Amino acid sequence: MDIKQLEVFVTVAKYKSFSKAARELFLTQPTVSSHIQNLENEMQCVLLNRNSKSITLTDSGKVLYNHAIIILNDCKKAIYDIKEYSGKIEGSLNLVCSSIPEAFIIPNFLEKFCKKYPNITLTIDHCDSNLVVPEILSERVTFGIVGSKKKHPHIKYSEFVHDELVLICPKSIELPNENGYIDIHKLKDLSFIMRKDGSGTRNVIVKALNSSPVPLSQLTTRANVESNSAVIEMVKKGIGCSFVSFISIEEMAKRGEINAYRIKDYSFERNFYFIHSRKKIFTPTEKKFLEFFVDYYDIRDEEEDKVINSND
């Protein structure tokens, strides 16, 4: 058994695919298959079920997978410790975000992190809030940032940024208001551009409106779109109105490019959460990122401290 075989085995298990593992590791698919076959021959057992559309672990494969993760992490830690001793901290990690954190929250943090750790490479992917948790649980990514919270026994949520949604309208639509607040019944007179199902923004809108006298079903929806940026551009073009994160349009509103309103007597507030698996064994690079993140956003949580300290 060698380290490369274990790395290939873990990657195939992670993606449940020989072809995806090959792309991840920059190997040919026959090479990946050969590594797995040699490992199974050495272990004298079948490690992967190949009979279904996706690859799954056998019972023996599950046992080896748990050991392989520890072995690979120990190897990474050894390399990390040596480089840290020589004054060069490097490595790679991945992060997945929903649209608002990706564009308006994380860049400021990454500016500081990358200055302190210039040799750590980050891969940042985007997907809707509802899809971030499956990515974390599958260990395709280590950390996630989302705008809505769904309880899961294996996911740790840490609240770190507060936000609110505001109603935005084209410059041509000025609504009667009191210090920027409008009556909720005015929403019935507007046409809306909504985020698609799965986004944290839509979840907040649906929850707030459905507990009000004007549920979402009573609004005129002109379009459902994928991204926050697309929503804003369509509003600016006069196609309709929408609810968006205040931090994404604050400067536009100040410049008078759009009109922004809040709803009288109703809250459209939310939090953003930093998430990771409770079962994840962090590599040294991942642990360094977690420590920096917790310190940067002043996340003081006993459970989070326990997670960090348990990896010492």
Give the number of other CB atoms < 10 A from CB of residue 13: 24
1 in Cβ contact with 39 (< 8 Å) = yes
Q: Tens-digit pLDDT profile for the chain (312 aa)? A: 788 999 999 999 988 889 989 988 889 999 999 999 999 999 999 999 987 677 899 999 999 998 888 888 888 778 767 766 555 677 888 899 888 888 899 999 999 999 998 888 999 988 877 788 888 888 788 999 988 788 889 999 999 999 999 999 999 999 999 999 999 999 999 999 999 888 888 989 999 999 999 999 999 999 999 889 999 999 999 999 999 999 999 999 999 999 999 999 998 999 999 999 998 878 778 888 999 999 999 987 645 444 444 444
Bridge partners, 194 (sequence order): 224
Give the number of other CB atoms < 10 A from CB of residue 73: 17
Q: Give yes or no: residues 34 and 181 share one domain.
A: no
Residue with tokens 């920059």: 26
The pLDDT value recorded for residue 312 is 44
Distance CA 99, CA 230 (A): 11
| Nearest Cα residue to 269 out of 176, 172, 163, 195 | 163
| Nearest Cα residue to 97 out of 160, 23, 19, 34 | 160
Q: Give yes or no: residues 174 and 300 share one domain.
A: no
Distance CA 296, CA 271 (A): 17
Q: Give yes or no: residues 263 and 187 share one domain.
A: yes
Q: Give yes or no: residues 94 and 133 share one domain.
A: yes
Q: Give yes or no: residues 103 and 11 share one domain.
A: no
Q: Give yes or no: residues 55 and 187 share one domain.
A: no
Q: Give yes or no: residues 73 and 93 share one domain.
A: no
DSSP string for residues in 13-62: HHHT-HHHHHHHHT--HHHHHHHHHHHHHHHTS--EE-SSSS-EE-HHHH
Q: Give yes or no: residues 157 and 22 share one domain.
A: no
Q: Give yes or no: residues 13 and 60 share one domain.
A: yes
Q: Give yes or no: residues 266 and 167 share one domain.
A: yes
Q: Which CATH number does the domain housing residue 106 bear? A: 3.40.190.10
The pLDDT value recorded for residue 261 is 97
The pLDDT value recorded for residue 266 is 92
Q: How many domains does the chain have?
A: 3
Domain that holds residue 69: 3-83
HEC profile for 215-260?
CHHHCEEEEEECCHHHHHHHHHCCCCEEEEEHHHHHHHHHHCCCEE
Q: Give yes or no: residues 145 and 100 share one domain.
A: yes
- Between the alpha carbon of residue 151 and those of residues 1, 6, 154, the distances in Å are 39, 33, 9
Q: Which CATH number does the domain housing residue 21 bear? A: 1.10.10.10
Q: Give yes or no: residues 185 and 152 share one domain.
A: no
The pLDDT value recorded for residue 87 is 58
